[in-house]
Chains A and B, each alone.
Chain A
Amino acid sequence: MQTKDMSMRKLLGLILYISFILLPIYWLLMMSFKTNEEILAQLTLWPQDFTFKNYITIFTDSTWYMGYVNSMIYVVLNTAITLTVALPAAYAFSRFKFVGDKHLFFWLLSNRMAPPAVFLLPFFQLYSSVGLFDTHLAVALAHCLFSIPLAVWILEGFMSGVPKEIDETAFIDGYSFGRFFIKIFLPMIRSGIGVTAFFSFMFSWVELLLARTLTSVDAKPISAIMTRTVGAAGIDWGLLAAAGVLTIIPGILVIWFVRNHVAKGFALGRV
């Protein structure tokens, strides 16, 4: 009887907290289906005058939907680059001692700690001077500075969980390092790779400051385009809300794919 009481209280607490999370999102979603007149006229819990107008504006105007495409391109690029260089590095950290390993590791983490605002201007000039300004690659590379440290950290945790005997057996069986790494080792830390990809994706998708500074026209991300809704006639709330709702969807898709690894991966493989 007592345990039933407990679980009821737990459930109630959880429901309360989840409503706290969902209410603001619900409000945004409802606003995106309202007309501006309705939003400004009175407080309504759901749209009286249901409209898809805001979404139609976004999907028919290329400056709007190209923002989403641009964001997706650099996010995918960032995730790919991060995984490619972080995997071997994390392997080295998890298996070997080498000169300066601890300091290298801390230096990496310190980049994750550097406030993006510090690097804003030099980044702009660095990428301009090598002709990368306003390309997707520039944003992807800049985001790498923050996603690689976290990726190495997570992957190193997962790799340390794989017994070293597996490496040794494979080498005795005549596997080359490359074949062993791709054929045997990577499948063993699948969930770690999934979670790392999730984190890289997440960071790159939500960041605004660097993405906005490093682009002007061709690679302009959706978050920068959203500031356009502030016009001479005030803020176009409905359109802003619709654009916001559309930015949440990719995140939901990604977490759906990694949902089974989340519990393990959020502890960065270190539990």
Chain B
Amino acid sequence: MEDDLPEAISLFAWMAWTQPTALFFVGIGTIILIMTVYEIKRPCAQRKGFLPIATTRGDRLFISLLTSAFLHLIVLGATDWSIWIALAISTFLLLITLRWG
């Protein structure tokens, strides 16, 4: 059984994994997993917050993830700020949107 493991790894070696991207996907996966479990335990209703449309929890997550993706791009393209500033602002926005959006 142990011999199979390196082979399984080499099967995915072409994907050129790096630690930061692996962490990124683990992060996204964890968020989706938590949201799913939360949704099963306590299904949420659509509601209207400061966003122009009525949203569910999942919608708000999607909207804030998409917004932060574009925020990162703007910071990278138009400014010389560190990427961490964009990340900090995004996290802040994510929490606000999830709570009051």
Contact = CB atoms under 8 A, between A and B. Distances in A.
Interface of A: 99-100, 102-103, 106, 122, 125, 128-130
Contacts of A103: 58-59, 62
A100 B36 contact: yes
B25 to A, nearest CB: 14
Given A99-B39, A102-B59, 8 more contacts: A100-B36, A102-B56, A103-B59, A106-B62, A125-B14, A125-B15, A129-B11, A129-B12
Nearest to B11: A129
A100 B39 contact: yes
A89 to B, nearest CB: 18
B1 interface: no
A103 B40 CA distance: 15
B58 A129 contact: no
Interface string B1-30: 000000000011011000000000000000
Nearest to B32: A100
A171 to B, nearest CB: 25
Contacts of A125: 14-15
A99 B36 contact: yes
Contact of B40 (A99, A128, A129): A99
Contacts of A130: 11
Interface residues of B, number: 11
A102 B58 contact: yes
Contacts of B11: 129-130
21 contacts: A99-B36, A99-B39, A99-B40, A100-B36, A100-B39, A100-B58, A102-B56, A102-B58, A102-B59, A103-B58, A103-B59, A103-B62, A106-B62, A122-B15, A125-B14, A125-B15, A128-B14, A129-B11, A129-B12, A129-B14, A130-B11
A103 B12 CA distance: 28
Nearest to A103: B58
B56 to A, nearest CB: 8
A32 to B, nearest CB: 43
B4 to A, nearest CB: 16
A21 to B, nearest CB: 39
Interface string B53-73: 000101100100000000000
Nearest to B40: A99
A122 B16 CA distance: 11
Contacts of B15: 122, 125
A102 B59 CA distance: 9
A124 B11 CA distance: 14
Contacts of B12: 129
Contacts of A129: 11-12, 14
Contacts of A100: 36, 39, 58
Closest 6 CB pairs of A and B: A125-B14, A99-B39, A103-B58, A129-B14, A99-B40, A129-B11
A99 B40 CA distance: 7
Nearest to A107: B62
A32 B56 CA distance: 58
Nearest to A130: B11
Contacts of B14: 125, 128-129
A121 to B, nearest CB: 10
Contacts of A128: 14
